[in-house]
A and B are shown apart, each in its own frame.
Chain A
Amino acid sequence: MGFLDTLLGRTKPVPPNLDALFSLPTAAITLQAAMGLRPTGTGSVSFRPTEGRAFHDIEADVRQLLAMGPNAAPVEVTRDSYGFTWLVNKHTSDEMEALVTDLHAVNTSLADAGFGPQLLCTLVGFDDDRGRKLGIVYLYKRGTFYPFAPLSGERRDNALELEVRGQVGSDLKIEPDLSRWFPVWGAPGL
């Protein structure tokens, strides 16, 4: 925010950065090769719905858009306890590219309609044979990724998260500020 913005008490909404999402498939290959973490094929987009008709219409359009096409994946819509909407997109484990394309389509539809500032994060799920779970979270406003590994009882596997950071650091732009690795407990798709 500029000096004048501060002085006049106006905040401009932060536009999302969308294109970085396409680096996810490469990172998925690295994760599988280096740590045995496979993509679950499930990804979700989280956004804050605004009140009023306009947003409701856009949301319906997006769901329709994802349900069309030759290899359309099932789409689920859930609402979390914070009032955020999650569009969950379920592909198979080897369709990472298709998943990312779908997630990107959601983003662009919302952003084109003027609701880009409402986008919170995108989450892509990974797991392995030992039952470890990992989400790679993309923060739209920062344009950065961070790992989120939930354990039972709202605890995080910080060791796993830091290991993942080391492995995919060259594929993805990882959020450098650790205080912004905010948890998304119970996020759909994890």
Chain B
Amino acid sequence: MVQTRYAPDRGLQARMGLTMFLLGLVFVAFVTALVFVLLAFKVGAGAIIFFAVILGAGLAFGSLFWSDKIALSAAGAQEVTPAQAPQLHGIIDRICALADMPKPRVAIAQSDMPNAFATGRNSKNAVIVVTTGLLRRLDDRELEGVLAHEMSHVAHKDVVVMTVASFIGIIAGLLIRFAFYGELFGGGRGRSDNNNGGALPILLIVMLVGIVTYAISFLLIRLLSRYRELAADRAGALLTGQPSALASALTKVSGAMARIPTKDLRQAEALNAFYFAPALKSTGEGGPSLSNIFSTHPSLERRLQQLSEISTQLGKQ
């Protein structure tokens, strides 16, 4: 009997499943509330909701479809050939052969901030981007750990999963904005004949529904993002068989990130969810603090703890 050393983390999967279930629940509640508002007032907010859904779907689809191009240009990254970056390509070649995955495109961003991210709607369109700061700071084993983490994001289709998960959040956010402007400018246009004051409560209720949905889905998406990071850490560490190399890379990167002034990092904010380690300085000192709830990545302690568990598991006779 061939033994296997790769036990899945059931607890993590269960928590991830629960988070997605709750997101689905929020979605259903959101739609129900909107339908209820429409039915109760018969008129009014329909057009606003319609436009929010259309625009939200368009935005989500666009950001998914062009995710590789958007992220490349936002990060100012250039695609590199094997001749330009032989070592980087060599490491990725070997990870692909170990994991039986098609090779993604490889790009380098000229930035001193040590980081890496993977994007693209599927593994055929995937791009892995590393910054020059990361290449300079990490040795080959650590770099391999980081790249395996990013390849796991590609394998888990995290860009698609996170876009779908963010979908309700986007619509709710748009709805808040539209209802707000509708109230400012549109007033009671078209509704004023039967009831002059009627428009205000409808828009207020729509706005309230939007705000509540947005707040809850925001927290759930962040939670989901943290679980996806842990899953990618885990898959990457098992793939290379070197969890400690990834742990060492994480410590190095986080240590170096904390010293960088926030002014430079502001540009990176939009890309945070896909980054290897978040660019924004976290003040959380472990434990469930407020900043942990809002962050896209798990705390360093949590990630290191998981990696050391994997290390023990791999070393078992």
Contacts and interface: CB of A to CB of B under 8 A. Distances in A.
A121 B99 CA distance: 12
Interface stretch (A65-73, A97-105, A106-114, A157-165): A106-114
Contacts of B99: 11, 14, 141
Interface residues of A, number: 43
A82 B91 contact: yes
A29 B158 CA distance: 47
A116 interface: yes
B102 to A, nearest CB: 7
B100 interface: yes
B6 A117 contact: yes
A7 interface: yes
Nearest to B229: A9
B287 interface: no
B16 to A, nearest CB: 6
B22 to A, nearest CB: 14
Contact of B156 (A11, A52, A117): A11
Interface string B233-255: 00100111111110000000000
A52 B242 CA distance: 9
Contact of B315 (A12, A51, A116, A185): A51
A172 to B, nearest CB: 17
A49 interface: yes
A84 B100 contact: no
Interface in B52-104: 82, 86-87, 90-91, 93-94, 96-100, 102-103
A48 B103 contact: no
Contacts of A7: 17, 20, 161
A22 interface: no
Interface in B173-232: 227-228, 231-232
A107 to B, nearest CB: 12
Interface in B254-276: none
Contacts of A117: 6, 98, 238-239
B155 A1 contact: yes
Interface stretch (A36-44, A123-131, A176-184): A176-184
B152 interface: yes
Contacts of A51: 241-245, 311, 314-315
Nearest to A155: B83
Interface string B146-162: 00000010011110010
Contact of B6 (A1, A13, A55, A154): A13
A54 interface: yes
Nearest to A154: B86
Given A10-B13, A82-B91, A185-B90, A114 B5 contact: yes
A181 B180 CA distance: 57
B276 to A, nearest CB: 16
A6 B157 CA distance: 6
Interface string B280-317: 00000000000000000000000000000001101111
10 contacts: A6-B157, A51-B311, A55-B314, A57-B317, A81-B140, A83-B144, A115-B5, A179-B102, A182-B96, A185-B86
Interface of A: 1, 6-14, 48-55, 57, 81-84, 111-118, 120-121, 139, 141-142, 154, 177, 179-180, 182-183, 185
Top 10 nearest A-B pairs (CB, nearest first) are A52-B315, A50-B241, A9-B231, A141-B100, A182-B93, A114-B3, A9-B156, A114-B5, A11-B235, A14-B100
